């Protein structure tokens, strides 16, 4: 097994720690799983929600968006599947300080693409009306 590159971090107290850099195998694994799912299920969409574990939900959302955009532009993973992608962020309840990040992926070959995307956005609009929505810049 190959070594994963690490970088040295010195925190505000002067303590040193080692932090693992992004592992390219994770990106490849996630993109292959998505590719296979979307190829095998042309009538289905996928909604993923970024885990809030350890407060890393926003970072996970940013990283996944980066991976997805790279994969689409490189055409390594989705050369034959045009995919529509919609991001949303919202609060689970009105007093929640953290956002929940959700994304809808739909193959453009899906005959129900428009209805699925409208339902996703309608849900999003209902959150706006209840003040659970947060507009990302």
pLDDT given at position 125: 72
pLDDT tens, the chain, 137 aa long: 344 445 566 666 777 665 655 678 888 899 889 888 888 888 889 999 988 887 788 888 988 999 888 888 877 677 677 888 988 887 766 667 777 889 999 988 889 999 999 998 887 677 666 655 554 44
Cα separation of 3 and 130, whole Å? 48
- CA angle at 64 for the pair 114 and 89, rounded to the nearest 5°: 60
pLDDT given at position 93: 65
Any idea what DSSP says for residue 77? S
Q: Indicate yes or no: pTM above 0.95.
A: no
Cα separation of 29 and 10, whole Å? 31
Cα separation of 81 and 59, whole Å? 26
Q: H-helix or E-strand containing 50? A: none
Work out the number of other CB atoms within 10 angstroms of the CB of residue 12. Answer: 5
Cα separation of 4 and 24, whole Å? 9
pLDDT given at position 136: 47
pLDDT given at position 39: 83
pLDDT given at position 117: 92
């Amino acid at each position: 097994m190959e070594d994963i590159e690490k970088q040295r971090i010195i925190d505000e107290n002067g303590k040193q720690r080692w932090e693992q850099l992004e592992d390219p195998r994770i990106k490849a694994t996630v993109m292959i799983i998505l590719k296979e799912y979307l190829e095998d299920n042309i009538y289905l969409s996928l909604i993923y929600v970024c885990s809030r574990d350890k407060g890393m939900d926003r970072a996970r959302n940013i990283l996944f968006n980066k991976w997805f955009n790279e994969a689409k532009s490189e055409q390594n993973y989705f050369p034959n599947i045009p995919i529509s992608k919609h991001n949303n962020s919202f609060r689970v309840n009105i007093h929640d300080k953290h956002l929940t990040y959700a994304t809808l992926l739909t193959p453009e070959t899906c005959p129900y693409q428009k209805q699925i995307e409208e339902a996703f956005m309608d849900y999003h609009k209902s959150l706006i009306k209840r003040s659970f929505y947060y507009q990302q810049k």
